[in-house]
Structure 1
Amino acid sequence: MDKARPLPQYLVQRYHGWKATTYKENQAWYRRLVSDGQHPRAMVISCCDSRVHVTSIFGADQGEFFIHRNIANLVPPYEPDGNQHGTSAAVEYAVTVLRVAHLIVLGHSQCGGVQGCLDMCKGNAPQLEQKESFVGRWMDILKPKFELVKDIAEVPQQTRALEQFAVIASLENLMSFPFVKQAVDEGQLTLHGLWTDIGEGGLAYYESASSRFLPV
């Protein structure tokens, strides 16, 4: 591999700033994380979107969350012979090895992946329909939920609804994993669906009894 290059200088400077301040002031804590291993209480499945800062939202320190990020915070269904193993592997490790107590799916406003799914379902994104499109094939996980929002006339409301259905679809798919279902049924694991409004700093949780997202 001869294409890798050194870090941009601004990142090098930021690293040295972190090493001289945050790391130096908490050196014992970082070394304890190494010696004791990781014992996160929760796994968070979040979107890759750079505006969604999971640890900041919850004021979390290193070692608290086992975080997996992908396009539109989606979990595929349980398919051992399928090709979408990255997220599935992370879920398996969190539940069966780390034995997290909580598994959180965090969706968000203005999600580009969800918007791509909407565009694709409306016939406005032929590039995502191509079999070579990784994003398009990943968004196939969410496409069935479009039927539940297609009649919403107002675009912002339709987009928000599908963003929240992305969370629900992931929760449903999580329960198709035998080891997740077993942990939930035995009371060792709880599932949580959240949606955050980036601009307003709002956070809502999915209440299964009413099938609604309610403010935290």
Structure 2
Amino acid sequence: MEHARPLPSYLVQRYHGWKATTYAENHAWYERLAAEGQRPRAMVISCCDSRVHVTSIFGADQGEFFIHRNIANLVPPYLPDGDHHGTSAAIEYAVTALKVTHLIVLGHSQCGGVQGCIDMCHGKAPQLEAKESFVGRWMDILKPKFELVADIEDGTEQARQLERQAVVASLENLMSFPFVNSAVENDTLSLHGLWTDIGAGGLEYYDPSSQKFKPV
């Protein structure tokens, strides 16, 4: 593949710095992880956004979380149609092979994917409406939830509420997967919905009894 290139120098320098410090100080732990395999207790589905750093938020070490990231932390409905489904494959592996006991959906503030969905619903993003737009077709998962926030006039607040609804939509869709539903019903898996404020460092959890997000 002739288009591949060497890493930029700043990443090479960072790698060597990591190898000489963090890895050198914890090499026994890394070797154990390699030899014994992974046994994470939780899977986290979060956004691709570079500002969302899951392991830092929870102070997690290598081997603790099985992490899957996609645009707007969305889970599609269960659809075994033979096509490629990266998110669904990750969920299947985490639940059926790794036997995680917690599955966390983590949304966040200032989510570009959610804003794109809002723009689509307002008719302001024709590029996302195109059939060829991967982002647009992915955000179709969230579109049904827009009617819950459509009457909110403040644009910032509307976005914050739809970001939370993205988490709820993912939790609902998770239950459409038979192996997730079975594990939840058998009390071997628990689902958790979270939303984090990037700027303020806040964290909220979804409370199904009140159908609202509350501070952790």
- Sort the TM-score into its range (normalised by shorter chain): over 0.9
Give the distance between the partners of 2:81 and 2:61, measured in 1 at CA: 36
Show the counterpart of 1:115. 115
Show the counterpart of 1:93. 93
Show the counterpart of 1:209. 209
Aligned-residue offset at 1:83: 3.8
Name segments (4+ residues, structure 1) moved above 6 Å: none
Show the counterpart of 2:33. 33
Give the distance between the partners of 1:65 and 1:83, measured in 2 at CA: 27
Question: For residues 200 and 191 of structure 1, do their structure 2 counterparts lie closer, same or farther at Cα, with a shift above 3 Å needed?
Answer: same
Describe the SS at the equivalent of 1:106: strand
Query: What is the correspondence of 1:195-206 to structure 2 with a 5 Å cutoff?
Result: 195-206=195-206
One-letter amino acid of the structure 2 residue matched with residue 162 of structure 1: L
Contact 1:105/1:167, CA 8 A, preserved across alignment: yes
Give the distance between the partners of 1:107 and 1:145, measured in 2 at CA: 15
Q: CA RMSD in A?
A: 0.7
Show the counterpart of 1:177. 177
Show the counterpart of 1:51. 51
Describe the SS at the equivalent of 1:196: strand
Give the distance between the partners of 1:84 and 1:44, measured in 2 at CA: 20
Query: What is the correspondence of 1:1-216 to structure 2 with a 5 Å cutoff?
Result: 1-81=1-81, 83=83, 85-216=85-216
Aligned-residue offset at 1:60: 0.1
Deviations 1:28-70 (A, max 9, x none): 0000001111000000000000000000000000000000000
Describe the SS at the equivalent of 1:199: coil
Describe the SS at the equivalent of 2:123: coil
- Greater Cα shift, 81-90 or 133-142: 81-90
Count of residues in correspondence between the two structures? 216
Aligned-residue offset at 1:84: 5.4
Describe the SS at the equivalent of 2:196: strand
Describe the SS at the equivalent of 2:119: helix
Deviations 1:69-127 (A, max 9, x none): 00000000000016451000000000000000000000000000000000001000000
One-letter amino acid of the structure 2 residue matched with residue 118 of structure 1: I
One-letter amino acid of the structure 1 residue matched with residue 43 of structure 2: M
TM-score (norm 2): 0.99
Question: For residues 130 and 53 of structure 1, do their structure 2 counterparts lie closer, same or farther at Cα, with a shift above 3 Å needed?
Answer: same
- Greater Cα shift, 54-63 or 151-160: 151-160
Describe the SS at the equivalent of 1:44: strand
* Identity value in percent: 78
TM-score (norm 1): 0.99
One-letter amino acid of the structure 2 residue matched with residue 51 of structure 1: R
